[in-house]
Structure 1
Amino acid sequence: MKKLLSVFVGLLCSVAVFAQTDFQELSLEEACKKAKTENKPIFLDCYTSWCGPCKMMANEVFTLKEAGDYFNKNFVCVKTDMEKGGGPAIGKQYGVDAYPTFLIINANGKLMHKVVGAMPLEKLIESVEIGLKASSLAEYEALYQAGKLDLTEQMAYWKLLSVSGDVVKAQSVGDNLWGKLTEKDKLSAAYWPLLQSRATSLESEELKFVCANRGHFEKEIGKEEVGDLIYNSFMSELNLMIVYQLPAKKYDKIPGIRDLLENNDVPRKDALFKMIDLAEARGKYDATGFMDALDTNLDVLNDSEKSWVFEGANLFISMFKDKAQLKRLGEIAIREKELIRDEVAKSKVTKIAFNFRRAGNDGVYWENLKTLREVLAQAEVEDKYVFLDCHNNGQTTKAIDDQLFTQKEVEDLLNKFFINYRVNLEEGEGAKVIRRYGINIPNVMLVLDKEGNVRHMISNVMNGNFIERVQETFDDNKAFGVLEARYVSGDRSPEFMVQYLTALSKVANSSKMALVAVELFASLNDEQRTSPEFWMLYNPQFSGISSEMKNYLFSHLQEFREKIGTEKVDQTVVNQIYSDLSSVLYTQGSRYTVDDINNIIQFIKRHDIQDSQQLLCIANITKLFKSKVHSVKDYKRACKGLKPENIPFADLYANILAVEPERTDEWNAWGKEIVESLTDPGYIQWYKQFLQL
């Protein structure tokens, strides 16, 4: 029984496969080999991931059984994303500049035919057959230029040019042919496609010719097709008026269009009247009137008409920057998107719905969704990144809310380009976010892609240019998550490692910074190590744990000064020495010995380091401390020449009195002397509190 069931399921799967177009994952070279073996031409679907019509063809046309029956039988079928892999090369080779484009290629790789644009299956098959049955475009062109094509052959040539997407040449050939036709020819069904392509304007002579001979054409061509032609002529005019702000004189035609519609038999009159109302408001720059017209009787429009109307609303209402109107458009679009069945139209209206709902909000719009999974699903629908604010209930969070997220520039940026979502790390999904992304401190901002992977990370958000750091999301050379993925995948090129270190410094990952800096330093030669390109390596935040880097800096000091500049180099050296000496005072069990400190003192004197006098004072103070000298008298002597506010008194006081508390009086007395020598009120107040004066 199980065996029979398996066979039955297998048969069902086989039927499912052959019920639709079987696009194979082949390179063009592999497809040509297969085409030779099977003695078939290649049908190549050229698409992009962002192309709505491409998705419509993939989901609604090539899934049909009739499509599979035709294309699987007659072609080796292949799909190619024109922005990935071999796609760009194919596009350049065959002149693909619009999507979708369907190429018919023979087994030798020669282009036989090209069909451009989305269309119903019947029209696609007809367009493909035109190319298969006809001579090549080059042959037609040669005969056309020589004047050797009769009217029927010129019509065939025009059809071939039209379906191949050569609009300019098709227009030229069509104009020439139309000028040669007699009225009898123009009434013939054979030339109806040419007449149909030209009767696109309500003012065109060709449309007037159709209307004057409507009864004849309805009998020869069909009442529905003639009605569609007249409807499309109205739509082409009204679409332009709704989607674009045309010159005022163009909108002067609206009363005439309304009269023409009222007095003639035109399909979908109710829809066209609504389009006229919208076009009229658009022409008057009347946003309220436009929105009032949009908000009533939208059910008279079909999905395609709604797509056009909302595209026009998107462009028109955006001009006014009126939050109430923006929000209203978002609410209408949210309501209507649920009623639209066409996937391309639904996707367009959905994006408008959420974009305008956010744009009409006061402040950053935070999605009111229950889970991150729902937010990522929303990101998939809108094709956007998720801006995830990982916060808690602390004072820093409140400051960010009050001082950062209230800024209009921040609001505009986040609402326009992101789906914004907040997670309290101490509640709800907080624990899941902590586990998934390793967030161990609050007020870190993550940018996630549609799959939930980290695209970018921003910490210390109140420091630096927040907007600039958010915009790094869109730069693959700065987005933290992109660089992290490249590092994990094994990219160790020096140029990349510098980019990665810069990103790590911005998210304050000090432990990872140090490791990456050591790794980069080890991979460089001497010329690279002293070049300005890699100077950042010697910042103490990177080299603090690496004695090799620090020793290299000190031993090549003069070379660095010549390439980088004395002031810049000496400042870094001073910072490094201060960092080393401070570690003796701050870190119990510091590995620095008195000999190490003596070497530092000799280095400072030998190289005439900037600010050497104060640096030598700190070195001598540290040497006394390391030598376990606890007498105030010795420290006061070592501090001569040091500004009172720069004396590390508090650290010495705490460390020495922890060992010899009986010296408290003498250290308190020195503290009072320092207070009397200070001029800065802030320092004076601090010392008094510290010494309890």
Structure 2
Amino acid sequence: MNTLLKYLLILFFAHAAMAQNGVQFEEIGFEQAIAKSRTARKPVFYMIYATWCPHCEKMRQQVFTDPKIGAYFNSHFINVLVDGEQGEGPELRKKFGVKAFPGLLFIDEQGTLLYSLNGEFKVDDLLAEAANAMVPEKQLPYLKAAFDADPSNAEKCLAYLITLRKGSDRKALSPAAHKYLATQSDSQLPSTINWRIIANAVTDINSREFQYVLSHQEQFAAVASPARVQRKIGNIVTELLEPYVASLDSLGYKSKRQIVKSMRLQKADSLVFSYDLMLAEHTNNWAAYRKAAEEGVEKYVWGNQKIIKEIANTYLQHLADTERLSYAIKWVKHALELMDSYDGNIILSKLYLKVNDRSNAITYARKAKELTRNLGWNSQEADALFKELNIN
């Protein structure tokens, strides 16, 4: 066997072994990864994961072990695995704007971000995105430079935003969107492409563009749809209020809440109602919870038996005043009118028991038990109620 043939066979089997084993990740520092990138003349691929993230684990076990993924990534990239919460992980997340796990980054030998993704991908979808990351015209630096050179060009703006959105949250898109939209007059805003830019990248509730959407909803509905316009309103309210609820910042929430309420829209008010309840529950502010519930249940969720039961159950768990519990009783009876349910009858029986109405408590406990018999369900909770009520 001649030397060339031996060499080709060695390369073939080495490549096959690498592919069979999936992606060959290294756990090395950023500077070392960049140095290897320069030497090998190929980009760095980073998977930034969290130990608690099920999507990360699924990709490590099912996607990065795939032979096709292994063959492509091992031949095209220096592959690096980083715990996003340990060591260099937090710094890398901040540097490259990783807001969700897993963060998937493609970085050149100068340390410049070429392309980024977040979330879980299937094998073929990840291969397609990795191929995109190797095409200069599809990379972030090229798309940004093209847009910056022609900021009034809607197509270039949208192309940059679509690629940026793959690995960034909506707020990261906002500066480019506003740079383009500043070149558009109010009357030019309601177009199909401008709507796509607004819908994907405008996050400031006080911005000229969003305020124009609010005051010209029919025009934007004509180029998008009424449902999409309402969804945008919901998204921008959610993006404004949710961080304050998540951080339990009652003062910050109160100031932003006023902005949303000033919109005077049913959709916005309904979201405020939900966030009012959530924040009050998470901060154990039961006075605020009952105030929000008693003002809003019939106004915003009267047709949703599931949410009504959840609110009533919260009353059952945390409130003792008979007058307050009477609201919950009224709500659950309405929920049962919308749809008879085992859990609704259980909640109502417990509410009646809590206000010392034994007769009605027995009635709804029996209804719950009857439903378990008819449907073949576990009757453990109903049995416990029967025992507490001393009935059989």
Which TM-score band applies after superposition, normalised by the shorter structure?
A: 0.5 to 0.7
In the aligned structure 2, how far is the partner of 1:385 from the partner of 1:580?
A: 36
The aligned amino acid for 2:299 is: A
Q: Does the Cα contact within 8 Å between 1:517 and 1:542 map onto a contact in 2?
A: yes
In the aligned structure 1, how far is the partner of 2:37 from the partner of 2:205?
A: 42
In the aligned structure 2, how far is the partner of 1:572 from the partner of 1:447?
A: 32
Q: Does the Cα contact within 8 Å between 1:392 and 1:426 map onto a contact in 2?
A: yes
Q: Alpha-carbon deviation of 1:496?
A: 2.5
Q: Does the Cα contact within 8 Å between 2:47 and 2:80 map onto a contact in 1?
A: yes
Per-residue CA deviations over 1:247-289 (Å, capped at 9, x if unaligned) read xxxxxxxxxxxxxxxxxxxxxxxxxx936xx6xxxxxxxxxxx
Per-residue CA deviations over 1:190-249 (Å, capped at 9, x if unaligned) read xxxxxxxxxxxxxxxxxxxxxxxxxxxxxxxxxxxxxxxxxxxxxxxxxxxxxxxxxxxx
Q: Alpha-carbon deviation of 1:481?
A: 4.7
Seen in structure 2, the aligned counterparts of structure 1 residues 553 and 477 have a Cα distance that, compared at 3 Å, is: farther
In the aligned structure 1, how far is the partner of 2:340 from the partner of 2:146?
A: 50
- SS of 1:366's equivalent in the other structure is coil
1:79-90 alignment to 2 at 5 Å?
Answer: none
Instruction: Find 2:254's aligned residue among 588, 592, 596.
Output: 588
Q: Alpha-carbon deviation of 1:634?
A: 6.5
Q: Does the Cα contact within 8 Å between 2:332 and 2:344 map onto a contact in 1?
A: no
Seen in structure 2, the aligned counterparts of structure 1 residues 448 and 681 have a Cα distance that, compared at 3 Å, is: farther
The aligned amino acid for 1:642 is: G
Q: Does 1:454 align with 2:113?
A: yes
Per-residue CA deviations over 1:325-380 (Å, capped at 9, x if unaligned) read 6564x4xxxxxxxxxxxxxxxxxxxxxxxxx2764542112247x54444334333
Instruction: Find 1:666's aligned residue among 301, 314, 326.
Output: 326
Per-residue CA deviations over 1:119-145 (Å, capped at 9, x if unaligned) read xxxxxxxxxxxxxxxxxxxxxxxxxxx
Seen in structure 2, the aligned counterparts of structure 1 residues 434 and 411 have a Cα distance that, compared at 3 Å, is: same
Q: Which residue of 2 aligns with 1:414?
A: 73
Q: Does the Cα contact within 8 Å between 1:561 and 1:569 map onto a contact in 2?
A: yes
In the aligned structure 2, how far is the partner of 1:662 from the partner of 1:540?
A: 48
Q: Alpha-carbon deviation of 1:571?
A: 0.8
Question: For structure 1, which runs of at least 5 residues remain unmatched after alignment?
Answer: 1-272, 279-289, 295-309, 318-324, 331-355, 602-614
In the aligned structure 1, how far is the partner of 2:342 from the partner of 2:150?
A: 50
In the aligned structure 1, how far is the partner of 2:202 from the partner of 2:312?
A: 25
Q: Alpha-carbon deviation of 1:447?
A: 0.8
Instruction: Find 1:379's aligned residue among 22, 32, 37.
Output: 37
Q: Which residue of 1 aligns with 2:250?
A: none
Q: Which residue of 2 aligns with 1:404?
A: 63
Q: Alpha-carbon deviation of 1:684?
A: 6.7
The aligned amino acid for 2:2 is: K
1:140-539 alignment to 2 at 5 Å?
Answer: 274=2, 290=5, 294=6, 310=7, 313=8, 328=13, 330=14, 356=15, 359-367=18-26, 370-396=28-54, 397-427=56-86, 429-430=88-89, 433=92, 437=96, 439=98, 443-462=102-121, 465-484=125-144, 492-494=151-153, 495-526=155-186, 528-539=188-199
Q: Alpha-carbon deviation of 1:473?
A: 0.7
Seen in structure 2, the aligned counterparts of structure 1 residues 459 and 661 have a Cα distance that, compared at 3 Å, is: farther
- SS of 2:37's equivalent in the other structure is helix
- SS of 2:2's equivalent in the other structure is helix
In the aligned structure 1, how far is the partner of 2:328 from the partner of 2:241?
A: 23
Q: Alpha-carbon deviation of 1:520?
A: 2.3
Seen in structure 2, the aligned counterparts of structure 1 residues 651 and 418 have a Cα distance that, compared at 3 Å, is: farther
Q: Does the Cα contact within 8 Å between 1:540 and 1:572 map onto a contact in 2?
A: no
Per-residue CA deviations over 1:564-606 (Å, capped at 9, x if unaligned) read 2xxx420122224445777789743312487742xx36xxxxx
In the aligned structure 1, how far is the partner of 2:59 from the partner of 2:342?
A: 27
Q: Alpha-carbon deviation of 1:669?
A: 1.8
Seen in structure 2, the aligned counterparts of structure 1 residues 456 and 641 have a Cα distance that, compared at 3 Å, is: same
Q: Alpha-carbon deviation of 1:442?
A: 5.1
In the aligned structure 2, how far is the partner of 1:682 from the partner of 1:444?
A: 42
1:641-656 alignment to 2 at 5 Å?
Answer: 642-645=303-306, 650=311
Q: Which has the higher contact order (CA 8 A, sep 6+)?
A: 2
Seen in structure 2, the aligned counterparts of structure 1 residues 431 and 504 have a Cα distance that, compared at 3 Å, is: closer
- SS of 1:413's equivalent in the other structure is helix
Q: Does 1:575 align with 2:231?
A: yes
Q: Which residue of 2 aligns with 1:80?
A: none
Q: Does the Cα contact within 8 Å between 2:164 and 2:173 map onto a contact in 1?
A: yes
Seen in structure 2, the aligned counterparts of structure 1 residues 374 and 634 have a Cα distance that, compared at 3 Å, is: closer
Q: Does the Cα contact within 8 Å between 2:19 and 2:70 map onto a contact in 1?
A: no
Q: Which residue of 1 aligns with 2:366?
A: none
The aligned amino acid for 2:117 is: I
The aligned amino acid for 1:499 is: A
The aligned amino acid for 1:571 is: A
Seen in structure 2, the aligned counterparts of structure 1 residues 616 and 436 have a Cα distance that, compared at 3 Å, is: closer
The aligned amino acid for 1:638 is: K
Per-residue CA deviations over 1:368-425 (Å, capped at 9, x if unaligned) read 7x54444334333433221122234334332321232233443333223222122334
Q: Alpha-carbon deviation of 1:670?
A: 4.1
Q: Does the Cα contact within 8 Å between 2:304 and 2:335 map onto a contact in 1?
A: no
The aligned amino acid for 2:70 is: E
Per-residue CA deviations over 1:494-544 (Å, capped at 9, x if unaligned) read 332222222332223232223333332222235642222222133276245
Per-residue CA deviations over 1:14-53 (Å, capped at 9, x if unaligned) read xxxxxxxxxxxxxxxxxxxxxxxxxxxxxxxxxxxxxxxx
The aligned amino acid for 1:404 is: V
In the aligned structure 1, how far is the partner of 2:146 from the partner of 2:182?
A: 19
Q: Does the Cα contact within 8 Å between 1:517 and 1:537 map onto a contact in 2?
A: yes
In the aligned structure 2, how far is the partner of 1:634 from the partner of 1:431?
A: 43
- SS of 2:80's equivalent in the other structure is strand
Seen in structure 2, the aligned counterparts of structure 1 residues 421 and 665 have a Cα distance that, compared at 3 Å, is: same
Q: Alpha-carbon deviation of 1:479?
A: 2.4
Q: Does the Cα contact within 8 Å between 1:445 and 1:459 map onto a contact in 2?
A: yes
Per-residue CA deviations over 1:60-100 (Å, capped at 9, x if unaligned) read xxxxxxxxxxxxxxxxxxxxxxxxxxxxxxxxxxxxxxxxx
Normalised by the length of structure 2, the TM-score is: 0.62
Seen in structure 2, the aligned counterparts of structure 1 residues 650 and 373 have a Cα distance that, compared at 3 Å, is: same
Seen in structure 2, the aligned counterparts of structure 1 residues 546 and 575 have a Cα distance that, compared at 3 Å, is: same
Q: Which residue of 2 aligns with 1:216?
A: none
Question: For structure 2, which runs of at least 5 residues remain unmatched after alignment?
Answer: 246-252, 278-287, 355-380, 382-392
- SS of 1:538's equivalent in the other structure is helix
Seen in structure 2, the aligned counterparts of structure 1 residues 675 and 424 have a Cα distance that, compared at 3 Å, is: same
In the aligned structure 2, how far is the partner of 1:581 from the partner of 1:360?
A: 46
In the aligned structure 1, how far is the partner of 2:342 from the partner of 2:167?
A: 32
Q: Which residue of 2 aligns with 1:38?
A: none
The aligned amino acid for 1:394 is: W
Normalised by the length of structure 1, the TM-score is: 0.38
CA-atom RMSD, angstroms? 4.9
Q: Does the Cα contact within 8 Å between 1:383 and 1:450 map onto a contact in 2?
A: yes
In the aligned structure 2, how far is the partner of 1:440 from the partner of 1:634?
A: 36
Which stretch has the larger CA shift, 506-515 or 462-471? 462-471
